[in-house]
Amino acid sequence: MEELRKLEQVQKLITSMESHGISMTSSSSSNQFIANFVLLLVKPCGELDFEDKFNLVSEYMPKVSFSEEFLGEASLLLGDGGYRRKEMETTLQPYSDNKLDFGSSMNYCGEMAMVGLDAMQRANSTLEDFLDTLNEKIALGGSTFGESQEANERSTRILSAIKSDPFQPLINLHKSHGLLTERLIHELRSGEEYWALERHLCGALASKGKVSVEDVMRAIHLKSFDYRVLNLLLYQLRGEKVNDLHMEFLSISELLVEIADDLFDYEDDVLENNFNILRMFVRIYGASAPTALAKFVSEAEEKYDRLLKALDPHLSSLYQRRCEEATKEGGKVSAHPFGSWSMPPLIHDEDSFRASVISNIQT
């Protein structure tokens, strides 16, 4: 709807331009460009009036260097698929400076893209878990099961950047769009903490080291940081104050989803040495892991039910209806409208399990 409104504005302005004899009949694209430029000048911008903006354009336009480098950087900031150098397409390089200095950022991690603005804009329900998959590779020494050597080498070149300051580009991007808040920064930093815990815990499993239940609990609560980032962004985009009750309810709901996903992906996570709460509980509790996990889930469900009842009744009803729809869409059949818990067979000897899978693939 917003795009249609903008298109209508442009078309009306082009018609007005034609009536004043300033249109270019030889090029519709040129007319559209001029119309967009005029709309930019007349659009409110703080305390600047039309004359102020016109004078600024007149003063600074001659000073702008339209080099390929500059246009590529400008295109990245727009993120609309316009002019861009091939090697910079849909990427936003990481950098440690607080300023948007793309030149220096190119040396930060070679030519590897860390977080793409276009990828963010295309995301439907999450930001593709940010760089989570790459982070999981660190515990395997930068390699992933079944991946080519070339792909693993490419990933390894990115991993060092993940350990340093992976979200600074995203922080600067949100700041440039006026969306950055202290709470948003906190959630992004929580993501860094989660990745560090994931590397520590998965490394401990791989090396037969010690795993503490405190670290595991901290990690599973931090794991949905990307969803919380998105929720906070929605509040900012809507110009609304963050509703703490809604955020708390969504957090416990996301926790239960993370646990359910871990149970579903258990074997894959063992194979790839990814963080998985059941894996961690098996290391800590052994054969009693299902009992310990069931107790944890039961406590989380009690909190979920309590917060669900605290929501506005209409909102609560809509949420529950959507949960039922999602359960059916996922193909789950259960007496409970939201599905049921299913505990997979435990894997006590992960090395043997991986060796068995590799042997079956090779044969």
Look up the pTM and report it.
0.59
pLDDT of residue 115: 43
What is the C-alpha separation between 247 and 340, in angstroms, rounded?
Answer: 24
CB atoms inside a 10 Å sphere around CB 361 = 9
Q: What is the pLDDT of residue 166?
A: 75
Q: Count, in order, helices (H) and strands (E) of the chain.
A: 18, 0
Spatial neighbors of 64 by CB under 8 A, at least 6 apart, are: 70
pLDDT < 70 positions in the chain: 1-5, 7-8, 13, 20-21, 23-28, 46, 50, 59-164, 331-339
Please report the pLDDT score of residue 158 as a whole number.
58
Strand partners, 48: 45
**3-state helix vs strand vs coil in the chain, percent to 5:** 65, 0, 30
Beta carbons of 140 and 112 less than 8 angstroms apart: no
Average pLDDT, the chain: 76
Query: Hey, is 48 helix, strand or coil?
Result: strand
